[in-house]
Amino acid sequence: MSSDAQREIEEILAILDRNPEGLSTSQISELIGFSRNLKTLQRRLVSLSDDGLIVKMGEKKARKYYPFNVSNKKNNGHLTDNTNQIFSPESQKTLKFLDTLPHARPKKSYNRDFLDSYVPNKTAYVPEMVRKQLFREGKRFDKALAAGTYAREICQRLLIDLSYNSSRLEGNTYSRLDTQKLVEEGITAEGKVHEETVMIMNHKEAILFLVENAQYIELNSLTIRNLHHLLSQDLLANPEACGNIRSIEVDIGQSNYKPLNNTHQLKELFELILLKARKIKDSFEQSFFLLVQLSYLQAFEDVNKRTSRLSCNIPFIKDNLCPLSFTDVSRDDYTAALLVLYEKNNVEPMLELYVWAYLRSCEQYGVVKKSLGEIDAFRIQYRQQRKEVMGLVVKKGLHGDKAEDLIEDFCKKNGIDETAKFTAMTLADLSTLHAGAIIGLGITEAQLNKWLEKKS
pLDDT digits (tens, 9 = 90+) for 213-268: 888 899 999 999 999 999 999 999 888 999 999 999 998 888 899 999 999 999 99
**CA–CA separation, 292 vs 296, rounded Å?**
6
> Is the residue at 54 inside a domain?
yes
**177, 303: one domain:** yes
DSSP-derived letter for residue 100 is S
Give me the pLDDT at residue 165, please: 95
Give me the pLDDT at residue 28, please: 87
Helix (H, G, I), strand (E, B) or coil at 75: strand
Helix (H, G, I), strand (E, B) or coil at 211: helix
Residue 74 has pLDDT above 80, yes or no: no
**364, 265: one domain:** yes
CATH number at residue 52: 1.10.10.10
Residue 174 has pLDDT above 50, yes or no: yes
Hey, which bits of 220-343 come out as E strands?
257-258
**316, 440: one domain:** no
Average pLDDT over residues 283-291: 98
**254, 403: one domain:** no
> Is the residue at 392 inside a domain?
yes
> Is the residue at 84 inside a domain?
no
Confidence of residue 355 (pLDDT cuts 50, 70, 90): very high
**121, 182: one domain:** yes
Structural domain for 23, as ranges: 3-77
Q: Of 166-175, 333-342, 447-456, give the lowest mean pLDDT range.
A: 447-456
Between the ranges 15-29, 137-151, 382-396, where is the mean pLDDT highest?
382-396
> Is the residue at 428 inside a domain?
yes
Give me the pLDDT at residue 50, please: 64
Residue 277 has pLDDT above 90, yes or no: yes
Residue 272 has pLDDT above 90, yes or no: yes
95-113 pLDDT per residue, tens: 999 988 888 899 999 999 9
**CA–CA separation, 183 vs 169, rounded Å?**
18
Q: Of 122-136, 142-156, 183-197, give the lowest mean pLDDT range.
A: 142-156
305, 336, 371: which is the final residue of a domain?
Answer: 371
**158, 203: one domain:** yes
**391, 438: one domain:** yes
196-212 pLDDT per residue, tens: 999 999 999 999 999 98
Helix (H, G, I), strand (E, B) or coil at 236: coil
**357, 392: one domain:** no
Give me the pLDDT at residue 83, please: 67
> Is the residue at 83 inside a domain?
no
Residue 372 has pLDDT above 60, yes or no: no
Q: Report strand pairing: 64-67 vs 54-57.
A: antiparallel
Nearest to 310 by CA among 429, 450, 189, 199: 199
Mean pLDDT of the chain: 86
**294, 431: one domain:** no
Domain count, the chain: 3
**CA–CA separation, 23 vs 27, rounded Å?**
6
CATH number at residue 270: 1.10.3290.10
The burial of 237, by beta-carbon neighbours within 10 Å (0-12 exposed, 13-18 middle, 19 or more buried), is given as exposed
Comparing 433 with 342, which gets the higher pLDDT? 342
Q: Are 320 and 140 in contact (CB under 8 A)?
A: yes
371, 395, 413: which is the final residue of a domain?
Answer: 371
Residue 145 has pLDDT above 80, yes or no: no
Give me the pLDDT at residue 60, please: 61
> Is the residue at 82 inside a domain?
no
**179, 121: one domain:** yes
Which residues are CB-neighbours of 4 under 8 A, at least 6 positions away? 34
Residue 32 has pLDDT above 90, yes or no: no
Give me the pLDDT at residue 75, please: 35
Give me the pLDDT at residue 268, please: 97
Comparing 88 with 51, which gets the higher pLDDT? 88
**CA–CA separation, 203 vs 291, rounded Å?**
17
Comparing 85 with 427, which gets the higher pLDDT? 427
Q: Report strand pairing: 74-75 vs 54-57.
A: unpaired
Hey, which bits of 240-344 come out as E strands?
257-258
**346, 446: one domain:** no
> Is the residue at 397 inside a domain?
yes
Give me the pLDDT at residue 377, please: 59
Residue 312 has pLDDT above 70, yes or no: yes
Q: Count the neighbouring beta carbons within 10 Å of the beta carbon of residue 29.
A: 17
**199, 135: one domain:** yes
Q: Whole-prediction pTM value?
A: 0.67
Average pLDDT over residues 283-311: 97
319, 354, 371: which is the final residue of a domain?
Answer: 371
Give me the pLDDT at residue 78, please: 29
> Is the residue at 68 inside a domain?
yes
Give me the pLDDT at residue 49, please: 73
